[in-house]
Amino acid sequence: MKRSTMLVGRYSVVAVISAMLLFSCNQLEDIHPDAMQDNQIEAATDGFKLTPLGGMHANLRVYEDVDCNDYCITEDASSWVVKNTIYEFNNQFWIDMNVYNTPEEIVYNFEIKAGNNSNPTIAFINGQEVNAATFEIRKSLEEGWEKCNTIEEEFVIIRSGGGQGQGNNDNANTITINSSYDLFEVCEVVSCEEFMVEAIEGMENAYRFTYISNEALEDVTIQMTLPQIADWKALDGKSYEEFGNGANGGIRWTGDLAACGDGITFELQFKPACEVSNSNSKGNKNTTPSSVSLMTNFVVQGGEFGGNKLKNNITAACH
């Protein structure tokens, strides 16, 4: 059973700084001092945690705080769960890596940082030339993946620049990262939305439209485009407003919609505009097409599931 989306936790810089002041120096001694200046590491001691700040990762949930058995993600980036880890070349240079999964991919973000004033770059990742301070790798998730599946990857990173430890044969320039990440499933979107069209028996060009909304909406407008009608009649006692004319004309209804249930029903009868006036140099001449389009759109204006619900135009034969 898939679970509904949880709210995304947000941490402010003020909250982090306040938390730091509550703890003694010996509780912070394990945190890299240079990384602390950037507010970019996530390090844990006894009850103390710094979460990643800055960029898009400021709005993501922290991996260690969320159980993949009890949480799900959506297409909304703010629902994703980031795992932040620091990997050191030496005491001057390190890689800040963020990992998270979207509904389709697992994403690895790498950023090289320095404790001095140098500007090192990532030269290579797994043999691929980078030559930049930041780099992102995206990998498609295998078909049929499930929640809590563990994705393991190895990355060999070679740095360039920054002074101390330069040279590709120097161990201070190369690190191997063994990454492990448990996937978060995609939230199941349960929808009761439905739209139905049926001809009213015993009446010519009369139709019943039933719309079941997935959400409760107030003062929502439903607009129907009626490009080739000569007249129309409401059979349901509802009040409609006409708009436009010709191909851009139609009627609209405004009111409240309940979520799910039996929905709302509209009953309408149309008189086809079967006589079409064609103007030419010899004057006007009325012609009769074989058929006309009575309705081309049934648009719900508003709500998450708004839009045109009519898949096929409703037409009428002209005799």
Backbone angles phi, psi at 304, to 5 degrees: -65, -30
Backbone angles phi, psi at 65, to 5 degrees: -95, -5
- Do residues 173 and 293 share a domain? no
- Do residues 177 and 62 share a domain? yes
End-of-domain residue from the set 186, 212, 233: 186
pLDDT tens-digit readout, 157-204: 999 986 654 444 455 689 999 999 999 999 987 889 999 999 999 999
- Please give the residue that has the higher pLDDT: either 13 or 268: 268
Residue owning tokens 């620091």:
86
pLDDT tens-digit readout, 73-120: 998 888 999 999 999 999 889 999 999 999 999 999 999 999 888 889
- Do residues 182 and 203 share a domain? no
Q: How many CA atoms lie within 13 A of 188 on its CB side?
A: 7
- Neighbour count for residue 22 (Cβ, 10 Å): 9
CA distance 228 to 245: 9
In this predicted structure, the answer to whether residue 135 has a pLDDT above a threshold of 60 is: yes
- Do residues 146 and 271 share a domain? no
- Do residues 80 and 202 share a domain? no
User: Strands 61-62 and 81-88, how do they pair?
Assistant: parallel
Amino acid at 176: T
Q: What is the DSSP letter of 50?
A: P
End-of-domain residue from the set 143, 167, 186: 186
CA distance 164 to 236: 82
CA distance 19 to 149: 34
- Do residues 147 and 27 share a domain? yes
In this predicted structure, the answer to whether residue 248 has a pLDDT above a threshold of 80 is: yes
| Residue span of the structural domain in which 210 resides | 194-317
CA distance 150 to 155: 16
Q: What is the pTM of this model?
A: 0.49
> Which of 40-44, 95-99, 133-137 is predicted least confidently?
40-44
